[in-house]
Structure 1
Amino acid sequence: MISNRSKLAAAALLAVSVGGATALAAPASAAVSVTPQTVCGSGYKTVNSAPIGSRGTVYLTYNSATGNNCVVTIRKATGTAVDMSAYLYVPDTDQGDSDYGRYTSYAGPVYARGKGHCVDWGGSISGVSVQVTGSNCATLKEHRVTRTG
């Protein structure tokens, strides 16, 4: 049986490698003033972020009232729809979510309950991806990988 983590990792790799072949409808588009909080919702605070080359940033946010994490990938400049992704995975609970498609400004939001757990998260924009594993684990050091395609 394939675990959710394996499915999410495979989907992230596929989203980066497919490039322009993805033809999904964009459920989200926004003005230039998109922020992680406007996408994730009220109560979410940015707790971590990672640049995706010069194309944008993927953000990890957390809502202390609910114990939920949210990840969103935001482009630096909006424009023609491009392949984008956002994913979040909580290894201890084997829970996660992902969003892959062609978007003009952001991918996500994706949510998972993560209170008291390390999280893996990341995103991609036009073939450049970032994966962060073992994140937000108090004194443990996270691992980041950026890939260009």
Structure 2
Amino acid sequence: MRSMRKVGIIGALGVLVAGATVASGTAASAAPNVTPQKVCGSAYKTVNSAPIGSLGTVYLTYNSSNGKNCVVTIRTNPGTAKEMSTYIYVPDTDEYADDHGNYTSYAGPAYVYGKAHCVSWGGNIANVYVSVDNSNCAARIEHRVTEIR
């Protein structure tokens, strides 16, 4: 009888420890270590970025081996899904890509061919929007706008 009680107590403690491990594991994974390279690909190097207030950042990346740009909007504090977007546009070629929806951590990736072209890009988190026009080219002066809608 006494050994049965010990087995029961040891089993209950095992369940509690396993439950605590699962609970702490869930909390740790709720804030993933998201980077532009994890979203766009390791060959993409960050060439520009713009803060979206205190909510996060939109990143412009470039892959010199294929001439493509990638944008991604990443939240500072992942959590409950919020309206988010990311976009990129090449005026010279009229190429456009975007991603939008309700996301917990990031929006994107969105890719366009941008070698030797100015690009316009941006994104939003909730009601804060950022746009960057005429970016990453010597021919024009970059223009940034942040607005709350």
Pick the TM interval, shorter chain.
Answer: 0.7 to 0.9
Between the aligned partners of 2:91 and 2:140, the Cα distance in structure 1 is 15
Residue 75 of structure 1 aligns with an amino acid whose one-letter code is R
Deviation at 1:31, TM superposition (A): 4.5
CA contact 2:52–2:124 (8 Å) conserved in 1: yes
Between the aligned partners of 1:138 and 1:64, the Cα distance in structure 2 is 17
- Structure with greater helix share of residues: 2
RMSD of equivalent CA atoms: 1.4
Residue 125 of structure 1 aligns with an amino acid whose one-letter code is I
State the SS of the aligned residue for 2:141: coil
- Structure with the bigger RCO (C-alpha within 8 Å, sep 6+) is 1
In the alignment of these two chains, the number of paired residues is 121
State the SS of the aligned residue for 1:33: coil
Spell out the pairing of 1:76-95 with structure 2 (5 A cutoff). 76-95=76-95
CA contact 1:70–1:112 (8 Å) conserved in 2: yes
Spell out the pairing of 1:7-86 with structure 2 (5 A cutoff). 31-86=31-86
CA contact 2:131–2:146 (8 Å) conserved in 1: yes
CA contact 1:74–1:105 (8 Å) conserved in 2: yes
Between the aligned partners of 1:38 and 1:31, the Cα distance in structure 2 is 14
Between the aligned partners of 1:42 and 1:93, the Cα distance in structure 2 is 26
Between the aligned partners of 1:31 and 1:73, the Cα distance in structure 2 is 15
Percent of pairs with identical residues: 68
State the SS of the aligned residue for 1:38: helix
Larger Rg: 2
Between the aligned partners of 2:113 and 2:71, the Cα distance in structure 1 is 12
Deviation at 1:139, TM superposition (A): 5.5
In the alignment, structure 1 segments of 5+ residues that lack a partner are 1-29
The equivalent residue for 1:118 is: 118
Between the aligned partners of 1:47 and 1:67, the Cα distance in structure 2 is 13
The equivalent residue for 1:127 is: 127
Residue 144 of structure 2 aligns with an amino acid whose one-letter code is R
Q: Deviations over 1:74-132 (max 9, x none)?
A: 00011000000000000000001011100000000000000000000000000100000
In the alignment, structure 2 segments of 5+ residues that lack a partner are 1-29
Deviation at 1:141, TM superposition (A): 1.6
